[in-house]
Chains A and B, each alone.
Chain A
Amino acid sequence: NAGVTQTPKFRILKIGQSMTLQCTQDMNHNYMYWYRQDPGMGLKLIYYSVGAGITDKGEVPNGYNVSRSTTEDFPLRLELAAPSQTSVYFCASSDTGLANYGYTFGSGTRLTVV
């Protein structure tokens, strides 16, 4: 049982380049989330999804896009990378069952935009 898997672990982008951060989970969770973590700022929600085909914006969606074509996968797309998007990105998932209201996190993607 792998949980939540994120790839790549590290990436350096040049300004204006695009990339997709991959996230997949094998727990059949309906809910998936993308957060960014900046020093001293905690975690900020970028986008989330409550099921396949349904996505919605979080607190800081500008500059990002997501899709959710399957229950397992929730990729995050950066179209025109900017230095302000230098951060650590975490994907998470949760189920909707009564027993567990917490999240399972991936190990993160450290992105640097230069």
Chain B
Amino acid sequence: AQSVAQPEDQVNVAEGNPLTVKCTYSVSGNPYLFWYVQYPNRGLQFLLKYITGDNLVKGSYGFEAEFNKSQTSFHLKKPSALVSDSALYFCAVRRTGTASKLTFGTGTRLQVTL
């Protein structure tokens, strides 16, 4: 079985400060890891993914995430937060193999204030 944990329901950060949204995972074999963002009344939008290679992956809107195999983590980061980054963020994992399905975390609400 595969699972994702997002330990924080909400993260609050001031605009201009760095942000981190935490994610840990459990999966047999090598993981494929994803971050999605959801704005109010919208569907989920793809931010970035880790498949293989460099542990630091860069995605849309200046976000990046670091894959740490030993800690089974895939934290989302951004050097300087914007108010417009306020949204719901989901981490997701699937194991290698095209037949496997994505398992999502419960989501973390990011609130960026002036």
Which A residues are closer than 8 A to B by beta carbons? 4, 33, 35, 40-43, 45, 48, 50, 58, 90, 92, 96, 101-108
Contact = CB atoms under 8 A, between A and B. Distances in A.
Interface in B1-59: 9, 32, 34, 36, 41-46, 49, 51
B104 interface: yes
Nearest to B51: A101
A84 B61 CA distance: 36
Chain B interface extent, by class:
20 to 34
B102 A103 contact: yes
B43 to A, nearest CB: 4
A98 to B, nearest CB: 9
Interface string B72-114: 0000000000000000001000100011011011110000000
11 contacts: A42-B90, A43-B90, A50-B99, A92-B44, A101-B94, A102-B102, A103-B46, A105-B36, A105-B45, A107-B42, A108-B43
A58 B101 CA distance: 9
A101 B33 CA distance: 9
A104 B106 CA distance: 19
Q: Which 5 A-B pairs rank lowest in CB-CB distance, beginning with the nearest?
A: A105-B43, A42-B106, A43-B104, A105-B44, A96-B98
B44 A45 contact: no
A35 B41 CA distance: 15
Contacts of A92: 44
A99 to B, nearest CB: 9
Most interface-central of A33, A35, A42 (chain B CB within 10 A): A42
Given A90-B43, A103-B44, 18 more contacts: A33-B101, A40-B9, A40-B106, A41-B106, A42-B90, A42-B104, A45-B101, A50-B99, A58-B101, A92-B44, A101-B32, A102-B34, A102-B49, A103-B102, A104-B46, A105-B43, A105-B44, A105-B45
